[in-house]
Chains A and B, each alone.
Chain A
Amino acid sequence: RTIKEKRDAYVQRLNDIYENNVKKAHIDIIRGYGKFTADPEPTIEVDGKKYTAPHILIATGGRPAVPSDSEIPGASLGMTSDGFFDLEELPRRSVIVGAGYIAVEIAGILSTLGSKSSLLIRHDAVLRTFDSLISSNCTQELENTGVEVWKHTQVKEVTKSPCGLLDVTVTSAVPGRKPVEGVIRDVDCLLWAVGRQPNSEGLCLERVGVQVDPKGHVVVDEYQNTTRRGIYAIGDVCGKALLTPVAIAAGRKLAHRLFEGKQDSRLDYENIPTVVFSHPPIGTVGLTEEEAVAIHGKDNVTVYNTSFIPLYYAVARRKVKCVMKLVCAGKEKKVVGLHMQGLGCDEMLQGFAVAIKMGATKADLDNTVAIHPTSAEELVTLR
């Protein structure tokens, strides 16, 4: 409860600050659900009032996906990340379903704060779209910190337990073996972290000819144009690189293009650095080793790896390693990917992301004098 109150208070302050900033910029705030009308020029209707503009930007974001009760009976008894932030007390027993970063972060938080936590994943590792080093290391670290990782497991049904909590029935299907069914009983917190879906269905996009993909993401080109002139889309609703700084950058570039005459202004979606606040944190930018090999060919890819225990643990009994991988392409060994998990990797990444964006090679990293003693220096002394 202590942290919830302080956290919510801080978020509320940010809400107020954001609103003040919008007002200071003389932007009108219209509250309500909007949708496109059938008018010839793109028009949005909110509570009976119509609004139009030469430029309309769709930035409605997304929301957590929950399996339907017809797919998984009782699924609606569980919560999503939205519900996680409403929790007033630490759940005694948590079950998190999902293998993406949201599942990983939430499982880590709950477990470390003292909730007995299980993470149910359909395959054998979390973060499967990340580099294999991160995927396997993160799965291992979750287990090291006390999260029970149930591999090859899916939820079959959810029912209310006699004492008012949840009983979660699962099937585990390890390849090559017969599927096994089990029940996790008296769960206070069942959390679905199985993906997010775009907030696009209620917008009546078909009325204005704005195309969406099969999952409902608004289709845009590299300039954030939708398939209807004068209508644009950015952020999570487009389904590409679901990150705040990406949405902010794309939004700003779009504004520069539309209103500052910078015709070529657009966001470069390559080499976007990202961090997962697992324990320890993950930092990654650029291509995975697999992606690099697919693009450049195995002979043109050089990979540097290191694994060590950070100095922090020298005096502690607990030891948590740090792993780092540098993926380089071509004869000049241009750095095309950097992946790491360990203490401080969250703060370490930003600087290296700049270097990579600038086209740094392995030699550029090696030519930078190390800072000692730090974990970061390992990235400039790789052999």
Chain B
Amino acid sequence: GKNEYDLLVIGGGSGGLACAKEAAQFGRKVAVMDYVEPSPQGTTWGLGGTCVNVGCIPKKLMHQAALLGSALKDAQHYGWNISQPVNHTWSVMAQGVQNYVKSLNWGHRVQLQEKKVKYFNIKGSFSDPHTVRGLTKAGKETVVTADNIVIATGGRPKHPMDVAGALEYGITSDDLFWLKESPGKTPLVYYLYIVFIEIVDYICLTGASPDVSLECAGFLTGIGLDTTVMMRSIPLRGFDQAICFTTQQQMASLVTDHMESYGTKFLKRCFPTKVEKLKSNRLQVTWKNADLDTEETDSFDTVMWAVGRAPDTKTLNLETVGVKTNSETGKIIVDASEATSVPHIYAVGDITEGRPELTPTAIAAGKLLAQRLFGQSSELMDYDNVPTTVFTPLEYGCVGLSEEAAVQRHGSDNIEVYHAYYKPLEFTVAERDATQCYMKV
């Protein structure tokens, strides 16, 4: 055809790369555009998207580092002679993690080359439904045309807009995983309940993975840092939300109760009003305590925002080509076949409205899309019963309907719940508290 490529994928993350590589298997001419806009703190990274660079992978490794810390404590009970207390050096962990992530960036580059997928490290924006132009870092312009375009640009952490100093002085998960030195003695992880509610809706309906803040707070505590999580609570917006909220509330309480006994501090029903820098270079955070109706303040080494993620669509120029987005979330609206409102333009992954923000669903959707476009398949992605795990210090795994959603769907007479608290055998000798070990079917 007249277009240069059969498929152009904008975004080199889990969904984008899976789609591109699958399409290349069918012998198609495929290109991938990937670009990382530096975070407000200046952090940037290589090919692979959120999961590889600032998500699943570094998170799991740091979670593992924290678990090893607990294992060292248990080890004494099992007879190992380890002098306590054992301390942790952030830079050693960070270097190991960052080197591993860089090896994955490299691996993805090589894979694209092997599969003959053209890679552009440019930030793309639409000029017409089949044309995307982009600027390299050096300012050189490249124009790419394609029969089919898949938008897979994912999301980035949000910053609170109503807190003075939030952008200048706070970091997000984008920065946390790339810190060379420890976030210090007292990092503050801020976490808005209001966003939690929104994510909870997602969990009930789509099985999204929540809780950057709890996972990060979990491993930061685990490696010995004095960590506080601040969370605002909001009035429950409606009966539906309350229903969905309750079961997640039950499981969330088990997770946070465990974290409290683990050493993470929680400031509940509090929300920050400003962040200022002190002469000592520490950060002073001022917040309102909604319960006591007071204003409080304290100083921390690091403030990290974990208030939700938002799609990066502004610079894509979607309005020019007419790709419809959800006015509230900014995410791209797609149908069951990942098609947008514009023919031949599709979207997969975190950028799409109503989908779980998970790597495996993005990968599966991306592959199936390529198979439908170029492989004569008609199989659609099934978003039901997507299993997911939250890697908090005591991990939480779930799949399917919450109890409340099940009652809503089937009626309480048709539901039978089996549940149990249990004590893992491994906890006995180690004298670990198993109060929050729980399962429900």
Contacts and interface: CB of A to CB of B under 8 A. Distances in A.
Interface of A: 1-3, 6-7, 10, 113, 311-312, 314-315, 367-374, 377
Interface in B405-441: 428-429
B77 A6 contact: yes
B384 to A, nearest CB: 9
Interface stretch (B92-100, B184-192, B323-331): B92-100
B254 interface: no
A315 B100 CA distance: 7
A372 B51 contact: yes
A371 to B, nearest CB: 5
A314 B61 contact: yes
Contact of A373 (B57, B96, B386, B397): B57
Nearest to A14: B428
A113 B64 CA distance: 22
B22 to A, nearest CB: 12
Contacts of B397: 371
A367 B61 contact: no
Nearest to B100: A314
B142 interface: no
Interface stretch (B125-133, B153-161, B194-202, B357-365): B357-365
Given A315-B93, A315-B96, A373 B78 contact: no
A377 B360 contact: yes
A128 B64 CA distance: 34
Given A369-B360, A371-B360, A3 B79 contact: yes
B246 interface: no
A315 B97 CA distance: 6
18 contacts: A2-B77, A3-B77, A3-B78, A6-B78, A311-B57, A312-B64, A315-B93, A315-B96, A315-B100, A368-B387, A369-B358, A369-B360, A369-B361, A369-B386, A369-B387, A371-B389, A372-B358, A377-B360
B114 interface: no
7 closest Cβ pairs, A-B complex: A315-B96, A370-B360, A2-B79, A3-B79, A314-B100, A6-B429, A369-B386
A314 B96 contact: yes
A7 B386 contact: no
A312 B64 CA distance: 7
Contacts of B386: 369
B116 interface: no
Interface in B91-117: 93, 96-97, 100
Nearest to B387: A371
B382 interface: yes
Contacts of B79: 1-3, 113
Contacts of A1: 79
B73 interface: no
A312 B429 CA distance: 24
Given A369-B385, A371-B360, 13 more contacts: A2-B76, A3-B78, A3-B79, A3-B429, A6-B77, A6-B428, A311-B57, A314-B100, A315-B61, A369-B360, A372-B359, A373-B56, A373-B60
A367 B380 CA distance: 11
A113 B387 CA distance: 37
Nearest to B382: A367
Nearest to B365: A369
SS class, residues of chain A in contact with chain B: helix
Nearest to B389: A371
Interface string B352-388: 0000001111011000000000000000001001111
Centre residue among A1, A6, A315, A374 by max chain B CB count within 10 A: A315
A10 B431 CA distance: 11
B5 to A, nearest CB: 26
Interface string B223-246: 000000000000000000000000
Contacts of B77: 2-3, 6
Contacts of B76: 2
Nearest to A7: B429
B364 A369 contact: yes
A379 to B, nearest CB: 12
Nearest to B361: A369
B411 to A, nearest CB: 26
Contacts of B389: 371, 374
A235 B93 CA distance: 49
Interface string B42-58: 00000000010000110
Contacts of B358: 369, 372
A7 B428 CA distance: 9
Given A10-B428, A373-B56, A2 B96 contact: no
Contacts of B361: 369
A373 B100 CA distance: 14
Contact of B429 (A10, A368, A371): A10
A1 B77 CA distance: 11
Contacts of A10: 428-429
B364 A372 contact: no
Contacts of A7: 429
A113 B78 CA distance: 10
A311 B62 CA distance: 11
Interface string B65-90: 10000000000111100000000000
A371 B398 CA distance: 10
Contacts of A367: 382
A333 to B, nearest CB: 17
A2 B430 CA distance: 11
A311 B57 CA distance: 8
A113 B100 CA distance: 30
Nearest to B356: A369
A2 B51 contact: no
A6, A113, A373 interface centre (most CB from chain B within 10 Å): A373
A311 B96 contact: no
A332 B397 CA distance: 30
A377 B56 CA distance: 14
Contacts of B385: 368-369
Nearest to A312: B64
Contacts of B360: 369-372, 377
Nearest to A113: B79
A111 to B, nearest CB: 15
A6 B429 CA distance: 6
Q: Which of A6, A7, A10, A371 has the most CB of B within 10 A?
A: A371
Given A371-B387, A371-B389, A311 B60 contact: yes
Contacts of B364: 369-370
A171 B178 CA distance: 58
Contacts of A314: 61, 96-97, 100
Contacts of B97: 314-315
Contacts of A113: 79
A131 B257 CA distance: 43
Contacts of A371: 360, 387-389, 397
Contacts of B61: 311, 314-315
A230 to B, nearest CB: 36
Contacts of B387: 368-369, 371
A311 B429 CA distance: 28
A61 to B, nearest CB: 21
Nearest to A374: B389
B179 to A, nearest CB: 16
A10 B430 CA distance: 11
Contacts of A3: 77-79, 429
Interface in B247-264: none
Interface string B18-60: 0000000000000000000000000000000001000011001
